[in-house]
């Protein structure tokens, strides 16, 4: 039996904790906040439930396998989501990738030839890369892992050819091959998902969101609570309100942590949180990290953060549903002048497109009877307006109000009278997300998705090792593109390494 400390109770930390406790190890999770979950969490305000970060996930085969492996699958009410896409030219709720294409063709008949050429190429990527039906090989051991890798091995020659062609090409570069840079179609396809993500992911992102898009009916917090409860039943110890001050090393090996000036010994330490802060801030001896690596970590770009407005509405779910039709709506028509890279644009929130998500349309219990909950969300430039006021609390409050008002105004185009129905209102900025998750700049999915800014050489690799012996990365930061699948892959790899 080994003594293991895990820093952070996000989906990666909780999953690693369950897997290791299940093997009989002594496992302690230190969580800085009062509730487990990290980005996979939620909260109530005035009877309204909202998600703290993650709204949904893909790669359901991997998620479901992981939950079955620790015997909690039947306790979690996973619910499939449908999405409504809105443009000035078209409006639809596609059931699959082909439906999506039909909606785009119907909205842009004059661009048929360009769309034909674009989709001809995109279809090849989506068809070869889009294996959504089987769990990731990272979630298996031994012979089972080899079996899981077989489909990838059989497709390796074609995948390598596509990867060589598209992995380092951004979505903007890909879209520019077919559409004028000031056109709506260019903005649509270059802006799908994360800004300038690898072109090889554009097809899989669209196809994946339509075919394999899930949430939890009880809310993400219920998922985290179930994992935490199961961890406790397996003998694990989850310490809440327990911020780790330092990772302690001896002779180049992690030997424990310090929490509130109390030392806790460990055979292994799993950092299930931000990679940058783990190695550049928490580690007691920075000399263990080569200076070149420290420099690379320090300047490495992270994924963009979000601004989210939380609204409790004096409007029934039925009435809200008349306007939204489905719980998740993506308006895709950003206004002229929108630039996700322009942090000095004070009018940014008047130009961005705001997505809408209603927890109470998924589960009526997420709002008081006769009322509804609504979240408005948009991606924002890094350090917008001097990082939201440069530390001035009054300026921050004013900027936050400006953002909220503009986002509510935008959502009112779809929901008439929205302002008059607001019973509760608040917002989270990237600074909020950084404060509660400790993710650098409020990063929403670990490292940057832009292939020109990647930290790891291979974007699909799982990288749990650090220069410090017995210190592993057990969060989504172990993969370039992060997310729930990345966190699960890291958790399994940590478990295998220690076992």
Alpha-carbon distance 236 to 255, whole Å?
A: 19
Over 80: is that where the pLDDT of 127 sits? no
Q: Is the dihedral of CA 275, 267, 239, 462 positive or negative?
A: positive
212, 60 contact by CB (below 8 A): yes
Measured CA distances, 228 to 16, 232, 236, 455 (Å): 11, 6, 9, 31
Across 171-200, average pLDDT = 92
Looking at every residue in the chain, the average pLDDT score rounds to 94
pLDDT bin (cut points 50, 70, 90) of residue 129 is low
Over 70: is that where the pLDDT of 224 sits? yes
| Helix, strand, coil % over all residues of the chain, rounded to 5 | 45, 20, 35
**Token pair belonging to 406:** 């503009």
Q: What is the pLDDT of residue 458?
A: 87
Over 80: is that where the pLDDT of 145 sits? yes
167: phi > 0 → left, psi -120 to 50 → alpha, else beta; which?
Answer: alpha
Query: Is there a common fold for 3-51+220-300+448-498 and 304-437?
Result: no
pLDDT bin (cut points 50, 70, 90) of residue 279 is very high
Q: What is the pLDDT of residue 147?
A: 82
Over 60: is that where the pLDDT of 252 sits? yes
Q: Which residues contact 380 (CB under 8 A, 6 or more apart)?
A: 304, 305, 306, 307, 340, 348, 352, 429, 430
Please name the residue ranges forming H helices in 192-250.
Answer: 202-211, 220-233
pLDDT in tens, 394-443: 999 999 999 999 999 999 999 999 999 999 999 999 999 999 999 999 99
Across 206-222, average pLDDT = 92
15 compared with 202, residue with greater pLDDT: 15
pLDDT in tens, 83-98: 999 999 999 999 988 9
Alpha-carbon distance 292 to 322, whole Å?
A: 56
pLDDT in tens, 322-372: 999 999 999 878 888 999 999 999 999 999 999 999 999 999 999 999 999
**Token pair belonging to 401:** 């109000």
Across 389-394, average pLDDT = 97
Within a 13 Å sphere around the CA of 70, how many CA atoms are in the beta-carbon half?
A: 32
Measured CA distances, 393 to 396, 430, 441, 499 (Å): 5, 15, 17, 48
Q: Could you tell me how far CA 346 lies from the centroid of its own chain?
A: 26
Within a 13 Å sphere around the CA of 25, how many CA atoms are in the beta-carbon half?
A: 23
Measured CA distances, 499 to 3, 183, 370, 468 (Å): 12, 54, 51, 18
- Pick from 82, 67, 81, 84: which is nearest to 14 by CA? 67
458 compared with 79, residue with greater pLDDT: 79
Over 70: is that where the pLDDT of 130 sits? no
Alpha-carbon distance 409 to 417, whole Å?
A: 10
**May I ask the CATH class of domain 304-437?**
alpha beta
Alpha-carbon distance 174 to 118, whole Å?
A: 9
- Tell me which long-range contacts 98-107 makes (C-beta under 8 A, separation of at least 24): 99/210, 100/206, 100/210, 104/185, 104/188
Choices 3.50.50.60, 3.30.1950.10, 3.40.50.300, 1.10.287.3510: CATH for 3-51+220-300+448-498 = 3.50.50.60
Over 70: is that where the pLDDT of 132 sits? no
Domain definitions of the chain by residue range: 3-51+220-300+448-498, 83-212, 304-437
pLDDT bin (cut points 50, 70, 90) of residue 156 is low
pLDDT in tens, 466-476: 999 999 999 99
Over 80: is that where the pLDDT of 152 sits? no
State if pTM tops 0.85.
yes
- Most distant CA atoms of the chain, gap in Å: 68
Q: What is the pLDDT of residue 498?
A: 97
Other CB atoms within 10 Å distance of the CB of residue 241: 12
408: phi > 0 → left, psi -120 to 50 → alpha, else beta; which?
Answer: alpha
Across 52-70, average pLDDT = 95
pLDDT bin (cut points 50, 70, 90) of residue 154 is low
């Amino acid at each position: 039996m080994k003594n293991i400390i895990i820093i952070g109770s996000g989906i990666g930390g909780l999953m690693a904790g369950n897997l290791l406790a299940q093997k009989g190890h002594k496992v302690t999770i230190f969580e800085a906040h009062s509730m487990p979950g990290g980005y996979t969490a939620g909260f109530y305000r005035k009877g309204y439930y909202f998600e703290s970060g993650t709204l949904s996930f893909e790669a359901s085969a991997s998620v479901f396998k992981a939950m079955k492996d620790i015997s909690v699958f039947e306790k979690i009410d996973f619910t499939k989501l449908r999405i409504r896409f809105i443009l000035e030219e078209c409006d639809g709720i596609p059931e699959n990738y082909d439906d999506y294409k039909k909606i785009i063709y119907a909205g842009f008949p004059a661009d048929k030839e360009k769309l034909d050429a674009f989709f001809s190429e995109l279809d090849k990527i989506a068809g070869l890369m889009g294996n959504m039906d089987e769990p990731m090989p990272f979630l298996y051991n031994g012979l089972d892992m080899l079996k899981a890798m077989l489909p990838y091995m059989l497709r390796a020659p074609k995948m390598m050819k596509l990867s060589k062609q598209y992995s380092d090409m951004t979505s903007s570069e890909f879209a520019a091959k077919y559409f004028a840079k000031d056109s709506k179609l260019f903005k649509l396809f270059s802006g799908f998902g994360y800004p300038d993500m690898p072109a090889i992911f554009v097809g899989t992102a669209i196809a994946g969101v339509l075919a394999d898009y899930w949430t939890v009916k009880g809310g993400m917090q219920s998922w985290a609570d179930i994992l935490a409860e199961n961890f406790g039943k397996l003998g694990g110890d989850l310490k809440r309100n327990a911020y780790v001050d330092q990772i302690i090393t001896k002779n180049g090996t992690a030997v424990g942590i310090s929490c509130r000036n109390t030392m806790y010994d460990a055979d292994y330490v799993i950092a299930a949180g931000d990679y940058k802060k783990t190695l550049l801030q928490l580690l007691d001896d920075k000399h263990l990290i080569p200076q070149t690596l420290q420099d690379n970590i320090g300047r490495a770009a992270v994924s963009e953060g979000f601004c989210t407005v939380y609204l409790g509405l004096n409007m029934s779910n039925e009435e809200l549903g008349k306007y939204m039709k489905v719980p998740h709506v993506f308006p895709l028509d950003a206004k002229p002048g929108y630039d996700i890279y322009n942090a000095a644009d004070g009018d940014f929130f008047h130009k961005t497109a705001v997505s809408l998500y209603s927890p109470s349309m998924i589960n009526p219990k997420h709002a008081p009877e006769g009322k509804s909950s609504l979240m408005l969300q948009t991606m924002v430039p890094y350090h917008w307006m001097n990082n939201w006021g440069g530390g001035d609390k009054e300026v921050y409050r004013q900027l936050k109000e400006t953002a909220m008002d503009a986002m509510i105004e935008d959502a009112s185009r779809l929901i008439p009278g929205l302002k008059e129905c607001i019973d509760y209102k608040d917002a989270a900025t990237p600074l909020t997300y950084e404060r509660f998750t400790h993710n650098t700049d409020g990063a929403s999915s670990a490292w940057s998705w832009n292939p020109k800014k990647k930290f790891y050489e291979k974007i699909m690799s799982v990288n749990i090792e650090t220069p410090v012996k017995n210190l592993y990365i057990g969060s989504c930061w172990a993969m370039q593109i992060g997310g729930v699948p990345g966190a699960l892959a890291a958790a399994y790899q940590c478990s295998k390494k220690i076992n």
